[in-house]
Amino acid sequence: MRRFIAVVKARNLEFVRDRAALGWNLVLPVLLVFSFTFLFSGEKSDVFKVGVYPEQALHGSVTDFLKLRHVQFIPVTDLDSAVDKVRHHQLDMTLDASAAPVRYWVNAEEPNGYFLERLLLGGRDPAAAAAAQREVVHGDKIRYVDWVLPGILAVNMMFSCLYGIGYVIVRYRKNRVLRRLKATPLTPFEFLAAQVVSRLVIIMSITLVVYLGCDLAVNFFMRGSVFDLFVVFTLGAMSLISLGLVIASRLKSEELSDGILNMVSWPMMMLSGVWFSLEGAHPFAKALAQIYPLTHMITAARAIMNDGATLMDVSGQVITLLVMIVVFLGLGSLLFKWE
């Protein structure tokens, strides 16, 4: 235990004394949050979004409505989830075309819903229309910055975890630090465990500071439990750290490790729904995104923050992250070499 604590302390001091790395990890996510807040603080786009359920069961009474231009019709598989998106202004209307009469949901506080409702009913007053059943929901609006925040926090954690573990261990091996440690009583398990704990403490502390600081300035929308969010981010960070251990287990070239880390991190960032939703993307892209731990971390974090989900509701993502942690740690331990 003394050897383990000594390595954890040494690694933490090394990171804290690197002022450039520490400052970058603190400043970058804050700059991204404020940039998106500024860029998307103007007027909303004039493009309407309507969720249609189910895609195959469209009634003849709404066919003309579904041919309207400048309206994005999005097929949905979960009606309750689509109604919740109307409540939070993520959709302007949800249409249940399988019911008779047709049912639709609009938000009483959303002007786009009013115009879509009149277009659907041919200009008639909703109270006098018998061709459709009207449902009204209420809810606070979720801004783009509220939606993108989990992605910003997660992608900052991804780069810090992968490069803070993968690149550093390769540098240790190249500079023969690992060779010196091999001559000590320190075991590979103690060394790897110390690296995981050290990086986890650092990244979770930075993420907590960034979240609290930005929340004071921007006042983020948070419906779920902060504890549940902390658990999801912790599991996500551990899976990314473990992935970094696999990459760094045998490499001794910093240039090669940098290339492999870029090859892993950039597709992960683009396909995990950090900046935009994958709704409507190619099925292959959606399937490929499921192999990345970042996808499951962001999905669970967004569900907790924006939809008020619990750990039980995101149990699928939690179990997937746990499996990834075990697999990556096992591979990293088996493949690790001091030299």
Task: Check residues 190 and 62 and name the one with the higher pLDDT.
Answer: 190
pLDDT tens digits along 224-254:
888 999 999 999 999 999 888 888 887 777 6
Tokens of 157: 């954690």
Neighbours of 310 (CB within 10 A): 12
Average pLDDT over residues 50-79: 74
Distances (CA, A) of 248 to 163, 198, 259, 260: 10, 16, 12, 10
Closest CA to 307 of 112, 83, 155: 83
How high is the pLDDT of residue 236?
Answer: 92
Structure confidence at residue 262 (pLDDT): 77
Q: Is the pLDDT of residue 255 over 80?
A: no
Q: Could you tell me the pLDDT band of residue 36, with boundaries at 50, 70 and 90?
A: low
pLDDT tens digits for range 179-227? 888 888 878 778 888 888 888 888 888 888 888 887 787 777 788 888 9
> Angle at CA 206, nearest 5°, toward 203 and 207?
85
Tell me: pLDDT of 279 over 70: no
Residue pLDDT, tens place only, 13-29: 766 676 665 565 666 66
pTM for the structure as a whole: 0.67
Give residue 276's pLDDT: 73
Structure tokens at 26: 């603190």
**Which residues lie below 8 Å from residue 196, measured CB to CB, with a gap of 6+?**
165, 238, 241, 242, 245, 329
CA distance 326 to 8: 21
Residue type, 331: L
Which range has the worst mean pLDDT, 41-50, 154-163, 267-276, 320-329? 41-50
- Is residue 324 within 8 Å of 238, Cβ to Cβ? no
Q: In this predicted structure, what is the pLDDT of residue 30?
A: 66
Q: What is the pLDDT of residue 320?
A: 93
Query: Mean pLDDT over residues 245-265, rounded?
Result: 77
Mean pLDDT over residues 257-265, rounded?
Answer: 77
The percentage of the chain sitting over the pLDDT mark of 70, rounded to a whole number, equals: 78
What is the phi/psi pair of residue 319, to 5°?
Answer: -65, -40
Question: What integer pLDDT is reported at residue 264 of this predicted model?
Answer: 81
3-class secondary structure per residue, the chain: CHHHHHHHHHHHHHHHHCHHHHHHHHHHHHHHHHHHHHHCCCCCCCCEEEEEECCCCCCHHHCCHHHCCCEEEEECCCHHHHHHHHHCCCCCEEEECCCCCEEEEEECCCHHHHHHHHHHCCCCCHHHCCCEEEEEECCCCCCHHHHHHHHHHHHHHHHHHHHHHHHHHHHHHHCCHHHHHHCCCCCHHHHHHHHHHHHHHHHHHHHHHHHHHHHHHHCCCCCCCHHHHHHHHHHHHHHHHHHHHHHHCCCCCHHHHHHHHHHHHHHHHHHCCCCCCCCCCCHHHHHHHCCCHHHHHHHHHHHHHHHCCCCCCCHHHHHHHHHHHHHHHHHHHHHCCCC
Task: List all residues 6 or more positions away from 41 whose beta carbon is below 8 Å from its beta carbon.
Answer: none
Q: What pLDDT sits at residue 232?
A: 92
142-155 pLDDT, tens digit each: 676 777 788 888 88
**What is the predicted pLDDT for the residue at 284?**
79
Tell me what pLDDT residue 23 has: 63
Which domains, ranges and CATH numbers included, belong to the chain? 2-38+143-335 (no CATH), 48-137 (3.40.190)
pLDDT of residue 78: 84
**Single-letter code of the amino acid located at 165:** I
Residue 280 predicted with pLDDT over 60: no
Mean of the per-residue pLDDT values for the chain?
Answer: 78
| Among 205, 240, 229, residue whose Cα is nearest residue 302 | 229
